[in-house]
């Protein structure tokens, strides 16, 4: 048997309300959604996965290097062909030999990853981390896009723990055209045949739940939520009431989270004090997974999905890159992919170096020591990712280097700072340059505490570069 021993969840800080959409279009087609989460210009499924998985690992009682199996799920991964678990594992500090698997192609991918993680734990009695992250896109004036939100959830699975995955079942039936994205297209589509879509949803969910051995009704039900009404229409098929669905629902405030819909709702329910939770996903095609969780104790959790940072519809279009200009022609600094790769320990894990002669810190750990001039090989040391701003400025329109211009056009002004990052011992610091995240530049001032996270830096030669950025510290 497998059990959830820690959980993490994340949603972007930007929110757009149903009223903003209605004012822009004259209507709002996402039933039951009051607002939704919007990823910023430098966020995607990979960075959100990092946010959620980091929180789950921090909530647990083990080191990331001890993870035996990693599963990553998204219906919209930022690269159509690339094993993103290699990047995600490096960002999290997993061992290079950790087994990995990617799940995509369906909003059911999140529970598919949980299912595979259970098998990995039950077979090898190791530790698995499963993370689902998604941000659906549709045509600007259709139900899919009006509902489309963003978020991620991650789970640590071990053989024993406070939340046992006691039963599971699946069901599939052919319903082509319910929701799909063709090869080479960026936006998800649907035929919009209401009765057909509803039949596919309820039949597969009911079929999956009927395969479970349930002695009594669950106290909460995390059910796939393409909008805020469809999960409740499947209540009878799932054998639960609307109160149980409401207990776990996140769609009303975050929107349709795609492959992360059920995982984020499950993460929230695990922190709600419920002793039994039903989790049921649905993916077009169509199929469903049903999982039953019984909770016997507190599940360590770090959840960061609340926000009141509202944006306008114009800002929403800009963050998505729909109404912004492209990158300027020429003039950008060229950094080859091999050169970028050599700097990944610094960009992902903040790896500095300690001079073996005088003990001074260096970041990046290369060249001669600034303090004593020694050329000896540095001893690696990983910085914890917190520090204080020593100097800061704001980069406005036209001021960004060409390689950052496209993102600046989407995100607006951003902060650029010199930060004294702290080491874990003796209150040592090392000064590094850093970009701010989507936080308003006015949120960064000299003397402020900041923390690092990983975001998109820029894309060059078709390859997106990821690395650390700073944001205001939660300790402020």
- Is there a single domain that holds both residue 274 and residue 348? no
Give me the long-range contacts of 445-449 (CB less than 8 A, separation at least 24): 445/389, 445/392, 446/389, 446/390, 446/391, 446/392, 447/388, 447/389, 448/388, 448/389, 448/472, 448/473, 448/476, 449/386, 449/387, 449/388, 449/473, 449/475, 449/476
Residues in the chain: 476
| Strand pairing class (309-310; 14-17) | parallel
Give the model's pLDDT for residue 164. Answer: 95
Expressed as residue numbers, the domain containing 222 is 2-319
Kindly state the DSSP code that residue 380 receives in the 8-state scheme. Answer: E
Sign of CA dihedral 21, 197, 71, 260: positive
* Assigned domain for 179 exists: yes
Which phi and psi (to 5°) does residue 315 adopt?
-65, -35
List Cα–Cα distances, 309 to 40, 394, 418, in angstroms: 12, 20, 26
- Is there a single domain that holds both residue 304 and residue 346? no
* Assigned domain for 42 exists: yes
Tell me which residue of 151, 171, 354, 394 sits closest to 258, measured CA to CA.
151
15: helix, coil or strand? Answer: strand
State the CATH number of the domain containing residue 141. Answer: 3.40.47.10
Nearest-angstrom CA–CA distance, 352 and 340: 16
The pTM assigned to this predicted structure is 0.94
Nearest-angstrom CA–CA distance, 109 and 20: 31
* Assigned domain for 332 exists: no
- Is there a single domain that holds both residue 360 and residue 440? yes
Alpha-carbon 298 to chain mean position: 23
> Which residues share a beta bridge with 3?
158, 164
- Is there a single domain that holds both residue 265 and residue 352? no
* Assigned domain for 408 exists: yes
Token reading at 340 = 């970028």
- Is there a single domain that holds both residue 314 and residue 350? no
| C-alpha radius of gyration, the chain, whole number | 23
The structural domain count of the chain equals: 2
- Is there a single domain that holds both residue 157 and residue 76? yes
Helix (H) or strand (E) holding 205: helix 194-210
Give the model's pLDDT for residue 476. Answer: 47
151 cis-preceded (ω within 30 degrees of 0): no
| pLDDT tens for the chain, residues 1 to 476 | 899 999 999 999 999 999 999 999 998 989 999 999 999 999 999 999 999 999 999 999 889 999 999 999 999 999 989 999 999 999 999 999 999 999 999 999 999 999 999 999 999 879 999 999 999 998 888 889 999 999 999 999 999 999 999 999 999 999 998 988 888 888 888 888 889 999 999 999 999 999 998 778 899 999 999 999 999 999 999 999 999 999 999 999 999 999 999 999 999 999 999 999 999 999 999 999 999 999 999 999 999 999 999 999 999 998 887 766 655 555 567 788 999 999 999 999 999 999 999 999 999 998 999 899 999 899 999 999 999 999 999 988 777 777 777 777 788 889 999 999 988 766 788 999 999 998 889 999 999 999 999 999 988 888 999 999 999 987 54
- Is there a single domain that holds both residue 152 and residue 285? yes
Helix (H) or strand (E) holding 279: strand 276-283
277 close to 288: Cβ distance less than 8 angstroms? no
286 cis-preceded (ω within 30 degrees of 0): yes
What residues contact residue 319 under an 8 Å CB cut-off, 6+ apart? Answer: 14, 38, 39, 40, 41, 311, 410, 411
């Amino acid at each position: 048997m497998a059990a959830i021993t820690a959980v993490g969840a994340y949603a972007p800080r930007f929110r757009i309300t149903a009223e903003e959409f209605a004012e822009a279009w004259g209507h709002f087609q996402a039933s039951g959604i009051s607002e939704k989460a919007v990823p910023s210009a430098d966020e995607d499924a990979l960075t959100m996965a990092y946010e959620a998985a980091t929180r789950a690992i921090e909530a647990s009682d083990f080191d990331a290097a001890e993870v035996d199996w990693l599963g990553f799920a998204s219906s919209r991964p930022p690269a159509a062909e690339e094993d993103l678990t290699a990047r995600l594992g490096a960002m999290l500090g997993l061992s290079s030999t950790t087994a990995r698997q990617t799940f995509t192609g369906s909003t059911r991918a999140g529970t598919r990853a949980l299912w595979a993680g259970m098998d990995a734990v039950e077979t090898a009695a190791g530790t698995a981390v499963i993370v689902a992250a998604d941000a659906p896109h549709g045509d600007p004036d259709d139900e899919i896009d009006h509902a489309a939100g963003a978020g991620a959830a991650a789970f640590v699975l071990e053989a024993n723990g406070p939340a046992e995955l006691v039963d599971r079942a699946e069901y599939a039936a052919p319903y082509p055209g319910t929701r799909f994205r063709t090869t080479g297209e960026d936006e998800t589509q649907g035929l919009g045949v209401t009765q057909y879509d509803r039949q596919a949803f309820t039949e597969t969910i009911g079929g999956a739940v009927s395969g479970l051995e349930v002695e009594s009704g669950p106290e909460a039900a995390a059910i796939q939520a393409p909008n805020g009404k469809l999960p409740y229409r499947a209540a009878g098929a799932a054998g639960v009431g609307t109160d149980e669905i409401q207990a776990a629902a996140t769609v009303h405030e975050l929107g349709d989270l795609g492959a992360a819909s059920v995982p984020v709702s499950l993460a929230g329910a695990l922190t709600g004090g419920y002793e039994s939770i039903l989790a049921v996903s649905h993916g077009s095609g169509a199929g469903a997974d049903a999982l039953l969780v019984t909770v016997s104790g507190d599940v360590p959790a770090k959840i960061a999905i609340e926000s009141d940072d509202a944006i306008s519809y114009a800002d929403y279009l800009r963050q998505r890159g729909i109404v912004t200009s492209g990158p300027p022609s020429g003039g950008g600094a060229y950094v080859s992919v091999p050169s970028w790769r050599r700097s990944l320990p610094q960009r992902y894990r903040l790896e500095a170096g300690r001079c073996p002669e005088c003990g001074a810190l260096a970041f990046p750990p290369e060249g001669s020591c600034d303090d004593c001039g020694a050329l000896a090989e540095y001893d690696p040391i990983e910085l914890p990712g917190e520090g204080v701003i020593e100097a800061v400025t704001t980069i406005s329109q036209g001021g960004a280097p060409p390689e950052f211009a496209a993102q600046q056009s989407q995100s607006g002004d951003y902060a650029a700072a010199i930060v004294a990052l702290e080491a874990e011992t003796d209150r040592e610091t090392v000064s590094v340059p850093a970009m701010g995240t989507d936080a308003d530049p006015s949120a960064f001032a000299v003397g402020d505490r900041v923390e690092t996270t990983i975001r998109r830096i820029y894309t060059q030669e078709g390859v997106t570069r990821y690395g650390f950025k700073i944001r205001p510290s939660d300790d402020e």
